[in-house]
Amino acid sequence: MKIRAKKCFVITGLCILGIVFFMAILNIKVSSRQGINFVAHTIKMPLYIKIIEFFDRDYHYKELVENICQGCNSDQNKVLALFEWTHQNIKRDIPEGWPIIDDHVWHIIVRGYGARDQFSDVFTTLCNYAGVDAFYSWVYTQDQKQRIPLSFVRINRKWAVFDPYNGIYFKVKKDKLADVEAIRSGSGWTIEALNKKPTIDYAIYLNNLSPLKEMGLGRTNVQSPLNRLRYEIKKCLK
C-alpha cells in the first residue's frame, strides 16, 4: 500500500508540474504585427490568446465560405460566388480620416473596407477555404512603372485571373475562364465586369504575365490550422 501511495504521489506531482509548465508556455508573450497607414506596429499578447484568436478566425472563415458557396456545384461556381461577394461586401471608398489597417485577413472582412491588394487578400483566402488553390501578386507593366494586384485561382489545373477590387475577370469563351497561358498567347480573351466598365488597360499588364510556378504557402494559404502547421514546420527546416 505504501508503494502504491508513493506512486500516486509521484504521478500527481508530475501532473501538477506538467500543468504548471504547460500554463507557463501558454502565457509566454508573443508578437503580432499590424500595419496602420503603412507604418508597422508590434502587438504583444499571451500565446494562448493568439491561439484562441487563430481558431476563432478559422471557424468564421469556414462558416462564411459555406454560406457563400451554398448551392454551388463546381469549383468555378464557388470561385465566382466568392469573387462577387468580395467585390460587393468590401468597400473601396474609405471615408476620409479612416486608417488603412493591415493585420489579419478576417479583420478586413469585419471592417468591411480595404485597399486594392486587400480585396485580393480576402478573395484568395476565401478561395483556399473553399478548397481551391489561390494566391495574389502585384503585376507590373513592361516598363515597371505601374502595377496592379491580381488574383490567380487554379481551376481545372489552370490559373484563372481576377481583379476583385475592380470586379473584373477574364474569359475565352462564354462559360470558360481565361487562364494565364491563354492570356499570354493572346487567344481572344475578353473582359467581364460585375458592375462598371473597366477603366484600366489590362492588356499592358496581362501581356507582361510570366508563366506561373507551383504555388507555395503564403499568407492567404496559411489561415487554416493544418496549413499553418505545415508552413511553420517548413520554415523551421530551412
The verdict on residue 92 lying in a domain is: yes
The verdict on residue 15 lying in a domain is: no
The verdict on residue 11 lying in a domain is: no
Distance CA 237, CA 234 (A): 5
Plot region of 237 (φ>0 → left; ψ -120 to 50 → alpha; else → beta): alpha
The verdict on residue 6 lying in a domain is: no
Q: 9-13, 68-72, 139-143 — which one is most confidently predicted on average?
A: 68-72
CA distances from 43 to 26, 28, 40, 216 (A): 17, 13, 10, 27
Q: ∠ CA(158), CA(162), CA(163), 5° rounding?
A: 160
- Give the residues across from 35 on adjacent strands: 40, 102
The verdict on residue 22 lying in a domain is: no
Domain of 217, in residue numbers: 27-237
The verdict on residue 128 lying in a domain is: yes
The verdict on residue 16 lying in a domain is: no
| 61-76 tens-digit pLDDT | 999 999 999 999 999 9
Q: Does residue 165 contact residue 188 with C-beta atoms inside 8 Å?
A: no
| 80-122 tens-digit pLDDT | 999 999 999 999 888 788 888 788 899 999 999 998 999 999 9
- The CATH number for 155's domain is 3.10.620
The verdict on residue 14 lying in a domain is: no
Distance CA 21, CA 226 (A): 25
* Domain count of the fold of the chain: 1
Q: What is the pLDDT of residue 217?
A: 46
